[in-house]
Structure 1
Amino acid sequence: MRILVVGAGAVGGYFGGRLAAAGRDVTFLVRAQRAEELKRAGLVIRSPRGDLLLRDVKTVQAGDASQPFDLVILSCKAYSLDDAIESFAPFVGPSTAILPLLNGMRHIDVLTEKFGASRVLGGQCVIAATLNREREIVHLNDLHALTFGELASGLTDRAQAIDAIMQGAGFDVTASDDILQQMWAKWVFLATLAASTCLYRASVGDILVAPDGKRVIEGLLSECRAVAAHNGYALGEDFVARVSGTLFAEGSTMTASMLRDVENRSRTEADHILGDLIQRGGEAQHERQISLLRVAYSHLKAYEARQAREAWASTEGID
């Protein structure tokens, strides 16, 4: 099975690197600068699960000639989806399966409209990783799990074949027969975490000691669960019990990656994680006079507006 990994950043580089090191036929679709980095230094992973140095990394660039790949693994930021699609579309053939590892659900709509539902899988990953100054992939904890499945549910021959290729590649993988339910569960958790930590500009532990902090997290979780239920993906008390250990952990230093983006003055996925969730909430969500989810989203859009204004002022030479 020929695998194309779009990008060689923290997530794609980690899972793609593990697959390549395990002997799978992996090619990375990268820009010229990243291709040169990989040629010079190799693909480097620093991880509690074992370091890796992968030499002779196979790469292609947008516009290169190639036969279609059997599997495309996509792990870009949601706001870069259109550019990513333009780069990998020529490598997609009639039997290519596309496995996105993005957060939220909007990308599924975009990909199925572009390539057809039969080519698109559902997927998610659980990993904390980043690129350091040396452009090495730094795995920040022990978690490195990937889950995927057919959008129509059930375990098809295609899903089982992909599962077989990924098993034994140095990370945890699960072929799910109900991937959309799992994607909604992750989305609700991430949206709650992102909305609360960005709204307070603080970690979970700090929020919990603030006046009404716990009630705010509880309110956000309730709103996000209501949107999931409205869309046919109810998340019961077992889900609440599972995520409560993280969302209500006293002394926890956990924050959402979206808050780290804000602190680094970077672009965020606010539209895709919070904005799209609000849009899918139906009339009840839009008619709320006081919606914590909408307040958190508005907070992030104000941040983006300020970033855009300051960027414009910088280009114009205005102090």
Structure 2
Amino acid sequence: MKIGIIGTGGVGGYFGARLAAAGNEVHFLARGAHLKAIQEKGLQVKSIKKDVLIQPALASDLISDLSQCDLVIFACKAWQIREIAPQLAQSLQKKALLLPLQNGVLAADELSEFFDRKQILGGLCMIFSYIEAPGIIKHVGLQEPMIIFGELDQAKSERCELIRELLKKADIRCKLSDDIQSSIWQKFILICLSGVGTIANQGYGLIRETPESRSILIDVLTEVSQIAKAKNINLPENIVEKSMSIIDSYPADSMSSLARDVLSGKTSEIDYQNGTVVRFGKELGIATPANKFVLGMVKLLEQKQLA
């Protein structure tokens, strides 16, 4: 299968390399020194699961090079969807499927502004990974990387079965969800805690062990769960407790991609995380003080780093 990877970072680089190693024709979209290194030396993945080297790798910075792909995986930052989608829509074949793996809950809706909604699947991924050096992706942590996906209308489809087989053959753990919106929101509620770690400049260990900061985590989760309930998202009744148990299982020094972005002076996804919660809260008449605090403080840090 011809597969396009938009964003060859920790997510796209890891999963794209696995798919290429399984014999698929994978086209990687990258830029700068990272792109140059991939073109000259190939794409390398360092992982406790299994190292991979794709050499040569099909990589460029031209969106038009993805025009004949059968499947395009969006692994870029959430805020980049609106930049890339209109350009891709001009050249991508109409029968192509789109699989967004962004943090947040808006990717499919934003893509549907530029593509036929029937082309779009819902998706998310679980992975701790990053660009270690140009051309090199580092997968860390004991959690096995995973992709969860499904039809937006909850239907069962042959195309989803084909993608599941595609991922399995590439040795990528995957799950075909019968309620992808619920799956996306179960991850969303977790990533809304990323801003707390960013503000503290700490891994999850000390934050969850300190009573005062732990209570902030719980307040953020509670507000997101209230928003989800108001939007008729099917989440477990104990979603707050379940989410905290997951946070308690993370390595103590683990930090989110949002924290890494903000603290390294890059544009973050905060508007697609706590910012989305605050916006939904205003629309629904639900108070979100904890998320508003996190949003404000992360915005402040962003301005400080960019100054």
What TM-score does the superposition give when structure 1 sets the normalisation length?
Answer: 0.87
**Who is 2:298 aligned against?**
300
Match of 2:227 in 1: 227
Instruction: Give, in whole Å, the separation in 2 of the partners of 1:257 and 1:36.
Output: 23
1: CA distance between counterparts of 2:41 and 2:238? Answer: 46
Q: Secondary structure at the match of 2:145?
A: strand
CA pair 218-166 structure 1, distance change in 2 beyond 3 A: same
CA distance in 2, matches of 1:13, 1:164: 20
Corresponding residue for 1:118? 118
**CA 1:29/1:222 → structure 2, altered by over 3 Å: closer, same or farther?**
same
How many residue pairs end up in the alignment?
305
Residues 7, 234 of structure 1: CA spacing in aligned structure 2 closer, same or farther, 3 A cutoff?
closer
- Give the whole-Å Cα distance in 2 for the aligned partners of 1:15 and 1:190: 20
Distance 1:208-1:174 versus aligned 2 partners, 3 A rule: closer
Secondary structure at the aligned position of 1:141 is classed as coil
Q: Which runs of 4+ in 1 moved over 6 A?
A: none
Distance in 1 between residues matched to 2:63 and 2:147, nearest whole Å: 29
Residues 50 and 118 (structure 1 numbering): CA distance in 2 closer, same or farther, change over 3 Å? Answer: same
Residue identity opposite 1:56 in structure 2? P
Task: String of CA shifts for 1:173-216, please: whole Å, max 9, x gaps.
Answer: 1222211110011001110x213323433333322444522222
More moved, 221-230 vs 7-16: 7-16
Question: Are the equivalent residues in 2 in contact too, given 1:14–1:137 (CA < 8 A)?
Answer: yes
Aligned equivalent of 1:313: none
Distance 1:135 1:105, change over 3 A: same
1:212 and 1:128 mapped to 2: Cα distance? 27
- Alignment CA distance shift 1:29-1:251 (3 Å): closer
Provide the residue aligned with 1:106 in structure 2: 106
Which consecutive residues of structure 1, in runs of 5 or more, have no partner in the other structure?
Answer: 311-319
Cα offsets for 1:154-189 (capped at 9, x unmatched): 221111122222222022012222111100110011
Aligned to 1:314: none
- After superposition, the CA RMSD in angstroms is 2.4
Unaligned runs of 5+ in 2: none
Greater mean alpha carbon deviation, residues 212-221 or residues 30-39: 30-39
C-alpha spacing 1:131/1:201, structure 2 compared with 1 (3 Å): closer
Q: Percent identity?
A: 27
Q: Look up the match of 2:244.
A: 244
- Higher Cα radius of gyration: 1
Q: In the TM superposition, what whole-angstrom CA distance separates every residue of 1:57-113 from its partner, at most 9, and x where no partner exists?
A: 123442656753211011001122233224533442221110011011222221011
